[in-house]
Amino acid sequence: MIKRTFLILVILGAIPLMAGERWYEVYGRGVTAMKQGRYAEAIIHFQKAISKKSRDTGRIRAYGTVFVDYYPNREIGICYYFLGEYEKALQFLKLSMTQKPSNRAKLYLAMTKKKLGVEPPPPATQKPAPGMPTPTHTYTPTYQKPAPRKSKERPVERMKIAVLPFETKGLSVDIGDMVLDKMITSLVNLGRFDVMERAELEKVLQEQQLEISGIVDAATAARVGKGIGLDAILLGSVSSTGGTVSLDARLIDTETAGIITSKDAYVYSKDITSIKKIVDQIANQIVADVPEVEGYVVQVEDTTIFIDIGSDKGIKKGLKVVVYREGEPIKNPVTGEVLGKKIIHVCEAVARVVQPKLTECHIVKSTETPRVGDRVITK
């Protein structure tokens, strides 16, 4: 009886990490449970890991040459977010941001505050932690960086995407339609992309004499998407085996047919509410993987530009950036009031070599010659 009680306490997370259990093994189980949508179980694993290593540290050595991105407090906060316990989510995400700030924590913190109706505070200037060296760069700017843009509106268009019908396996077509509509709604509400409405997409494809149901592979989807002016296409499938429903989604670049990001999630239930939750989960993960960040051009070499944002801001190889500059102010001819500034679209480029604070990009479209000091924003 004592042994059985002890086992139950371990499973429920009522006791700390057992002797012999390694923190990174427990943390890994939490990550796996989280990816499969088992958020309550994931929290238990993360809390056990915290009993051994309490702080979010980012990349840390686990053993030998194996490293782990260790963010237990952040992941607990995200789990609480998906469980709808926003006050707890807020607590852990704030803690993570004080220990080891990350774009993922920042995104979910903003979404949690939105759920709670709390306005995010103005960003504070970060200073290096005591005893930490000042970050170094691999370049020396030869210009004075302009003041940050104050407007919250994007000066250039967002990445334009469309979501294709999800392939269904072992489920009714109605479930696939529900997943499609929910994915479109979730992505629109997150506001990161310019999402083409389903009816509009079908109309455009009909005009092009194309069948939406016939687009199944990435190469075909990319070719069709490029032909109708899209930057990316979201493909996916929803399938059921036994009592488990799995959802997979891939965001495909229409220029290269390469995968920008790929996400999957599982739920051990076939009810509509549970399936909608994993659709929301994947939508949030896709947005987190394609961050909206800004910077400046710091060097230009023929068809290559170097920008002052890198992997520490979420930039990855294959992401597109838009280079632009602000022209002269436009004034009301009667009152003299400054109405705004002319935005000059300079070029589009693709991230090719990414360093922590610097990214080398290859220009793919150009209307102007880029200059040092031009502004940059991820598309």
| pLDDT score recorded for residue 23 | 84
pLDDT tens-digit map of 302-327: 999 999 999 888 898 888 999 999 88
Tens-place pLDDT, residues 27-54: 988 998 888 888 888 898 898 888 888 8
Could you tell me the residue ranges of all domains in the chain?
Answer: 2-116, 160-289, 294-378
User: Is the pLDDT assigned to residue 120 strictly greater than 50?
Assistant: no
DSSP string, 98-131: HHS--HHHHHHHHHHHHHHTPPPPPPPPP-PPTT
Per the model's pLDDT, the better-predicted residue between 205 and 147 turns out to be: 205
DSSP, res 27? H
Give the mean pLDDT of 105-115: 88
CATH topology of domain 2-116: 1.25.40
CATH code linked to domain 160-289: 3.40.50.10610
Strand partners, 237: 167, 248
Least confident of 21-25, 97-101, 179-183, 235-239: 21-25
Confidence at residue 215, expressed as pLDDT on a 0 to 100 scale: 60
Spell out the alpha helix ranges (H) of 117-262. 173-190, 198-207, 218-227
pLDDT, one tens digit per residue, over 3-24 is: 443 333 344 433 344 445 788 8
Q: Mean pLDDT throughout 213-222?
A: 72
A 10 A CB-CB count for 64 gives 6
* Cα 200 to chain centroid, rounded: 25
Q: What is the pTM of this model?
A: 0.58
Average pLDDT, the chain: 81
Class of 294-378 in CATH: mainly beta
